[in-house]
Amino acid sequence: MSSLDVAIRPLKIQPDDPRHKEDLRALIQHELAGRLDGSDITRKPTATELSEAVQLLLDKSEGVFVYLARLLDGLKAKRRWTLKDLRDFPQGLNATYTAFMERLPSSSDSTRFAETDLSRLLSVLLAVQEPPTLELLTAAWNANEELPAVDGGTAGVRPVAERFKPTFAALEVNKLLDQLGSLYSVHDERVVVFHKSFHDFLESHKLEFGQANKFWVDPVQGHTLLAAVTAQLMASPDAARAAWPSSALPSKTGSMDMQLSPQPHVYKWLIPYSLKYGPSHLVELQLSGQLPAAGPLLGTLVQNYAFLAAAFSSGNGHDLIRALSRLRRSPSDSSIPGIVMDALRWMLLRQPDLFKAGISEEQVLVSCLCCPLGTLVFEKAKKVYVNALELLGRPCWTPRHVLGASTSWPACQIVLSGHSSYVTSVAWSPDGRQLASGSGDMTLRVWDAASGACVATLEEHSDTVESVAWSPDGRQLASGSLDMTLRVWDAASGACVATLEGHSDIVQSVAWSPDGRQLASGSGDGTLRVWDAASGACVATLEGHSIIMMSVAWSPDGRQLASGSGEMTLRVWDAASGACVETLEGHSDSVISVAWSPDGRQLASGSGEMTLRVWDAASGACVATLEVHSGDVQSVAWSPDGRQLASRGGDATLSVWDAASGACVATLEGHSNMVTSVAWSPDNRQLASGSWDETLRVWDAASGACVATLEGHSSGVSSVAWSPDGRQLASGSWDNTLRVWDAASGACVATLEGHSDVVQSVAWSPDGRQLASGSWDETLRVWDAASGACVATLEGHSKSVSSVAWSPDGRQLASGSGNMTLRVWDAASGACVATLEGHSGDVQSVAWSPDGRQLASGSSDKTLRVWDAASGACVATLEGHSNIVTSVAWSPDGRQLASGSWDKTLRVWDAASGACVATLKDPY
């Protein structure tokens, strides 16, 4: 079946429907006017005869509009018609097509129709994935059905000669199209079928009443011929130069060394189609099981770096992934070469780097060499790399294990790239075919889950999209935003069909009722609202929480709602009456996430107190408290069978829990000494940690696996930071150096030397072009990230610099020092523009507020201070810790501050009032 199968099928018009009956009668009467004779041809038809003719045509159409349209068009072929003539019209659309085919010259001889040139042409028209050009149609019709053979071990193909000379073949195809008359036409140089129903007819083995269709056409033949075009292009050096001129890797027995030279002018039409759809035809043949050569040719294709580079560069990478993904339906098929599925894993993971204009064959090879050691993709690329160096006469270094390199594919299946800011929410469509995401870039994106392609970008919100949810039938999406609105979107068109207004603060969470008739939203105004999904009207406002609503979820039967709040409680509500039926207390910090078990008997909640709790939904009793995290529990979700819970904590751990026992079944371990620094990658897919064991480790956030151990420092690692694009890591160490690491390979790409003492802190500029470091040598240094050169040394502190931070706009730097001061520096000139005094102990940590208007600092004097960045005035002193304050961080919205201390607690503070709103005790 081709991609044209999404076209409109024959449209049933139901002529007996009162809404259509009179319109159809009027249409037929208009077309018959002046053309119908009475029983006596010397007179006009009577009203009864005209009514009988109209009903006759309606009956023969069998309710199929395209038949009626074709019939009415056919009435223009003669000036006069009688009732007898109309009765001779075929009954139904299939009979019309049969009668037409029987009149064709190609069908009149004794040759079986399936063996005719016309059947061959129609098989291509059935299989082709878009209306073909005459050149493509001719090339496929003229191709040999014997697919080119694969050269053993060379990832190449041997071409097969064409059936006829190209000029003769083009004449024959035009003759065949002429025979088909009005069933096909040429528009914009492409051959277009009159209606998809004709292809339905050709693909039907049986017609009405079990009658065999003698004009049945096998689309597999068409897939074979179109695949042959792609395979022969892969074998042609002329095509290689026309399609992928970047192909420059020398080869002993390369895929382009066999000679076949179709006419160069046809490349304009054949190459774009082959790059986009050639793999799809090979996959169709593989799945049909009718052509053993399809599997090996697919193996050849995914090893042809020139073809892949051309496909990626021309924007067809996602089409290639979609095609190969269909092979997952047959995981046990031994005829599919292992490298095909291995290549699919590689493309899914690396598509942000691969699917870009101008990518070369060499760059594709390099990407393969970055795959896990031992994978088939890596091993093939290694052989090509070694062969190329030998032919060029260069020293041949065989790729071997590198420090921290993985030996197997990571748990992460696919990387979806496109948002220009952080991703706040993600949700699967009910059928599992699509994903929706919300982002700080104020958009929603809809993604094809198989290929990773972004199929729609939904833009209407005026601020961060905090939450996104699919309707149960998958036809609509709902989103909540910092702009205080909910929006409902049509999933097919991407149109915003409703804007729901009523909340007076951010919409933090949104959820559909199980029947899809209602929406629930939780807001920073402390209320839940229930909305009618059809009208957009607010049908209930549920009040009871006193501060921000963090999460909302419907029970599986739709009778109850659960909500989590910043006031440290969960509430269960009766969805019909809006009454609060249960308040669940036990958490000692904000309830950030809440979820029902699939059977509706239990609730799970995650909190800022570092715990998950499981509650009996009927009694409200807490039946389990899961404690492992040493930081906030940010998210919680049930497995589909309700047996497990997963949570992600702000302490840089990922934990998997057994819901029945409350046991933690997975955590991240590996360092041999104290962990000093932890940082998330910008895409949230990895964690980096630094330790006194002199190493950095990179962790897969999904599986918990350590994917790389970065060794090079000769003393403890004191600080670690990701570059804004996530491609590099920077680390500071007690060995007085900074190191920059390639996050993908684990290689140390630069060692920055200049400090004369411990590098205590390191930070990337917001644009990723510079690094700043603070040292015990009492200086800050600014480094060019590309060259590693030190471009500025900032002096002024009289003791060690313990902390450094860039302002959000990258124009200023702030530093904290052992001399009890903060300093603010102009990043361009290096001038100190402000000295902030007030602490009575070392300044251990400094952080800018997200809007850049304030600074926060933590000190060994056991306090935090908040400073006005413009004036340098201390606007608040936060007291409560009983020991040194080692770390301070702002919440993303700038409303709260978090601090860590040697008193083994974290404290959360209201930034406006300075009040301590929560104390989190480390369970360790």
The pLDDT value given to residue 632? 41
* Of residues 102, 121, 115, the one with CA closest to residue 175: 121
How far apart (Å, rounded) are the C-alpha atoms in residues 672 and 275?
50
pLDDT tens-digit profile of 843-879?
988 989 989 999 999 998 999 999 999 899 999 999 9
Residues 6+ apart with CB under 8 A from 170: 134, 138
Give the torsion through C-alpha atoms of 463, 464, 466, 472, to 10 deg. 70
The pLDDT value given to residue 695? 84
How far apart (Å, rounded) are the C-alpha atoms in residues 203 and 219?
8
The pLDDT value given to residue 403? 43
Neighbouring CB atoms inside 10 A of 357's CB total: 8
Q: Phi and psi of 402, rounded to 5°?
A: -115, 160
Amino acid at 809: D
How far apart (Å, rounded) are the C-alpha atoms in residues 318 and 580?
48
The pLDDT value given to residue 692? 77
How far apart (Å, rounded) are the C-alpha atoms in residues 606 and 599?
19
3-state helix, strand, coil in the chain (%, to 5): 25, 35, 40
Contact 62, 16 (CB under 8 A): no
Rg of the chain in Å (alpha carbons): 35
Give the torsion through C-alpha atoms of 398, 400, 405, 410, to 10 deg. 70
The pLDDT value given to residue 591? 86
Which tokens hold the place of 387?
């062969």
The pLDDT value given to residue 189? 85
Can you tell me whether residue 45 is helix, strand or coil? coil
Pairing mode of beta strands 706-711, 717-722: unpaired
- Which residues of the chain are under the pLDDT cut of 50? 1-16, 110, 151-160, 237, 240-241, 243-248, 251-266, 401-404, 629, 631-654, 656-659, 666, 921-924
H/E stretch holding 530: strand 527-532
What separation in angstroms does the CA of 750 have from each of 692, 729, 779?
21, 11, 21
Contact 550, 593 (CB under 8 A): yes
Contact 649, 631 (CB under 8 A): yes
What separation in angstroms does the CA of 719 have from each of 527, 759, 762, 794, 821?
41, 8, 6, 19, 21
**What is the torsional sign of CA 321, 323, 324, 330?**
positive
- H helices within 474-550, ranges in order? none
How far apart (Å, rounded) are the C-alpha atoms in residues 534 and 872?
53
Can you tell me whether residue 220 is helix, strand or coil? helix
Which tokens hold the place of 674?
């104290």
pLDDT tens-digit profile of 395-433?
555 555 444 456 778 767 788 888 999 999 999 999 888
How far apart (Å, rounded) are the C-alpha atoms in residues 548 and 505?
9
The pLDDT value given to residue 65? 60
The pLDDT value given to residue 771? 94
Question: For 234-292, what is the HEC assignment?
Answer: HCCHHHHHHHCCCCCCCCCCCCCCCCCCCCHHHHHHHHHHHHHHHHHHHHHHHHHCCCC
Contact 196, 7 (CB under 8 A): yes
**Cα 492 from chain centroid (whole Å):** 17
H/E stretch holding 202: helix 196-203
Residues 6+ apart with CB under 8 A from 54: 25, 28, 29, 32
Contact 478, 534 (CB under 8 A): no
Residues 6+ apart with CB under 8 A from 590: 548, 550, 564, 565, 566, 567, 568, 607, 608, 918
* Of residues 822, 783, 823, 816, the one with CA closest to residue 801: 816
The pLDDT value given to residue 5? 32
Q: Phi and psi of 620, rounded to 5°?
A: 80, 5
pTM of the model: 0.57
What separation in angstroms does the CA of 850 have from each of 710, 802, 874, 894?
31, 21, 18, 6
> 708 pairs with which residues across the strands?
698
How far apart (Å, rounded) are the C-alpha atoms in residues 605 and 583?
13
Residues 6+ apart with CB under 8 A from 728: 722, 740, 741, 742, 743, 749, 785
Please give the full DSSP string across 655-683, using - where no structure is assigned.
Answer: EEEETTT--EEE-----SS-EEEEEE-TT
Q: 104 exposed, middle or buried (CB, 10 Å; 0-12, 13-18, 19+)?
A: middle
Contact 530, 542 (CB under 8 A): yes
Can you tell me whether residue 96 is helix, strand or coil? helix
The pLDDT value given to residue 640? 40
The C-alpha angle with vertex 401 and arms to 397 and 406, in degrees rounded to 5, equals: 140
The pLDDT value given to residue 464? 94
How far apart (Å, rounded) are the C-alpha atoms in residues 136 and 60?
38
DSSP structure class, residue 422: -
Helices (runs of H) and strands (runs of E) counted in the chain: 18, 52
How far apart (Å, rounded) are the C-alpha atoms in residues 165 and 142?
9
The pLDDT value given to residue 835? 92
